[in-house]
Amino acid sequence: MRRTATAALTATALVLLAACASDTQEAESPATNSPSPSEPSSTATPDATASAAPAVAPRTPTVSGDVTTGLNAPWDVAILPDGTAVVPERDSGIVKTVAPDGTTTEVGEFDEAEPGGEAGLLGVAVSPDFSTDRSLYFYLTTDDDNRVVRRQLTEAGTMGDSEPILTGIPSANRHDGGRMTFGPDGYLYVGTGDANDADLAQDASSLAGKVLRITTDGDPAPDNPDPSSPVWSMGHRNVQGLVFDPDGNLWASEFGDQRFDELNLITAGANYGWPEVEGEGGTDQGFVDPQVTWTTDEASPSGLTYADGTLWMASLRGQTLWRITVAGGEASDPTPFLTNEYGRLRAVAPAADGTLWLLTNNTDGRLEPGPDDDRILRLALG
């Protein structure tokens, strides 16, 4: 069932909010990024039609320490089979690995990545056959476009040459998308942004404002809505998180504009309405409504993962880790944690030891970073 997470706002604050765009998504929040004992400032609204609770009650995350510190505008975190994390840095173009014990190593660089605003070296996905092919897939901005490239990580801990597999994704200094994940079908799903041109999201011939589905060589995957196109779904403003749940449902977190950020259930050929609709209310026009919305000051949603029976969503402007219940293809009960304690939160991933690794994002020019920023926090679930 749908849920809307809302802060307690006065009428005056609502007027001010309308003038404040989350496409300054990575916009500053007045909250500090230093640890504090503050309680979450937002709560979910109960609904009498809520889905049945999961068999095992979801657990509460608590920070048990830093995995590593001193990262430079990190954008993503992906876990290798041996528990090592791969972390691309947006502005430097450097890729680092972080071992379970926190040992951090620079393994390669993308000279072709062109940072600026929200552009640069963005997402990373690990091949489902990594143990044999050693392949990593990266999403980055160049002088000409956004693109997906493949590189091998050698046993010696260095990366081979870049091999572009999908080029020509429109780019800009805002709304570049960049999150990727492999599906249970073995194909790569890629979230893109509208490249600061909202009309592109409704242009079926453009790769902007879409979720793409491609083979490991960059070709349109079999059974795409248009067999000649990589487009899987359209009408997106700026997809920032992608993850499959154990039932094979694909979830996407997405930046809104003036009113609502979204969590969407992605299905083949569906149109999610941007820029005609923001938030709910598009079904009578043939669009698919989001399953959960947030006001733009609560979220600016970023990385999304599934662990411990629920979705977990990092948020930037909202400086909050959200836990979201999912069951039977429905999402409900967004619950906030760590609000305003560690600053902007970019990505989250389940680690090999059963903890969550949470990536902060305070060194990209939006906030005054703390002395240990940026870092990966280790979250115990208890």
- Could you give the CA distance from residue 21 to residue 15 in angstroms, rounded to a whole number? 12
Residues 6+ apart with CB under 8 A from 112: 140, 142, 162
Domains of the chain: 60-381 (2.120.10.30)
Neighbours of 54 (CB within 10 A): 13
Residue whose C-alpha is closest to residue 59's, from 382, 291, 331, 278: 382
CA 126-349-132 angle, 5° bins? 20
What is the model's pTM?
A: 0.88
**Which of these, 292, 279, 251, 290, lies nearest to 3 by C-alpha position?**
292
- Residue 217 CB: number of other CB atoms within 10 A? 10
Burial per residue of 299-333, b for 16 or more beta-carbon CB atoms within 10 angstroms, e otherwise = bbbbbbbbbbbbbbbbbbbbbbbbbbbbbeebbbb
pLDDT of amino acid 353: 94
Helix (H, G, I), strand (E, B) or coil at 133: helix
In this structure, are residues 42 and 359 in contact, taking their beta carbons and an 8 Å threshold?
A: no
Q: For residue 93, give the nearest of 121, 70, 118 by alpha carbon.
A: 121
Which residue do the tokens 């600053």 mark?
343
pLDDT in tens, 64-121: 999 999 999 999 999 999 999 999 999 999 999 999 999 999 999 999 999 999 999 9
With tokens 């949470």, the residue in question is: 358
- pLDDT given for residue 288 in this prediction: 98
CA quadruple 256, 94, 128, 164: dihedral sign: positive
Closest to 269 (Cα-Cα) out of 232, 223, 235? 232
Residue ranges for the chain with pLDDT beneath 70:
1-56
The predicted structure's pLDDT at residue 310? 98
